[in-house]
Amino acid sequence: MKIFIAFAAFISLSLAISSTPGDNSHYVEGVSRYIWMPDGDGVPHLVDLHAPIDRQVSRNGADNQYWLYTRRNPTNHQVLRHNDVNSVRNSNFNPSRPIKVLVHGWNSKGSSRMNPQIRDALLHVGDFNVIVVDWRRAAMGTYTTSVWSVPGIGQHLGWFLQFLFNNFGGNWNNLHLIGFSLGAHVIGNAGRTIGGRAGRLTGLDPAGPQWGRNSNAINRNDGVYVENIHTDGGLLGIFDPVGDVDFYPNGGRNRQPGCMLSTCSHSRGYELFAASVRYNHFNGRQCANLNDARNSRCTGASHRMGNAVIGKRGTGLFGVTTGSNWPF
């Protein structure tokens, strides 16, 4: 009886909600019903992980928008339309340039903070076709609905990429898919749809809640080289390795240096990546195991975290030490 009472008290405590926006100190993975999540501009929102799915929301990705940025139009996007050859032909898209695809997460849109930050960094270092995927209709619903929508969003992205390559040529090895939070799982599904041919996938703190044992989560088979940067493992992000290479900055968990709110550590995933693109200054050291990664005890071979290198390759777990302010 005492054991039952103690267990019931533990469950009640774990279901308590912090009244401070962005404070997830109450959260117990796999047990808690509520968690604070940041929107695309870093503002925390309280999310009910038991909320029902809104089946009226489009989940098949037909509403995806594809915004093209190049060095000829670095801040004003051109809209590319699936199966509309003229929309591509009349744009600045050049199939001889590498393609960088950016996919946002929950409660976000194409103009949300992560996209211009990474876009500007990419165009600063290379002459790329940067395509921002705006899937706001499904992303703006309840978190549960957005999770349910991810496979269809990713599948349509994959079909759009097939349309581009089938009609305009190019090299699949020059395709780099970059996704933050739920967007990391979107690019995983897109990579599967195109048969794992993308040269590189980068998951930025892949979303954790509702993704345990989820077959639609990003994995190492979704591209030629799949890497993930874990910054809020066990809370808003997953902690387990799911790529060819998994990076664990500062232990890969909450709180990251310089973060006051819990939710800041999740957003740090795309901030660190943007900094790595501009400066390529994060030197990862290989870890013997996941526990060493958790405790920042990694002293093995070196491997750069992030950056814009298309032909990047490697395997293993890597710890990284960063600063607390840009460029970290």
pTM for this model (two decimals): 0.94
Question: Known catalytic residues?
Answer: 181, 205, 266
For 233, which DSSP code? B
If 0-12 CB within 10 Å is exposed, 13-18 middle and 19+ buried, where does residue 97 land? middle
Query: What is d(CA 42, CA 269) in angstroms, rounded to the nearest whole number?
Result: 12
- Determine the Cα angle at 227 with ends 221 and 233, to 5°: 110
Mind listing the pLDDT tens digit of every residue in the chain (328 residues)? Answer: 444 443 443 344 445 687 789 999 999 998 999 999 999 999 999 999 999 999 988 778 999 999 999 999 999 999 999 999 999 999 999 999 999 999 999 999 999 999 999 999 999 999 999 999 999 999 998 999 999 999 999 999 999 999 999 999 999 999 999 999 999 999 999 999 999 999 999 999 999 999 999 999 999 999 999 999 999 999 999 999 999 999 999 999 999 999 998 899 999 999 999 999 999 999 999 999 999 999 999 999 999 999 999 999 999 999 999 999 999 9
Query: What is d(CA 203, CA 185) in angstroms, rounded to the nearest whole number?
Result: 8
Domains of the chain: 52-320 (3.40.50.1820)
If 0-12 CB within 10 Å is exposed, 13-18 middle and 19+ buried, where does residue 267 land? buried
Pair 237, 256: CB distance under 8 Å: no
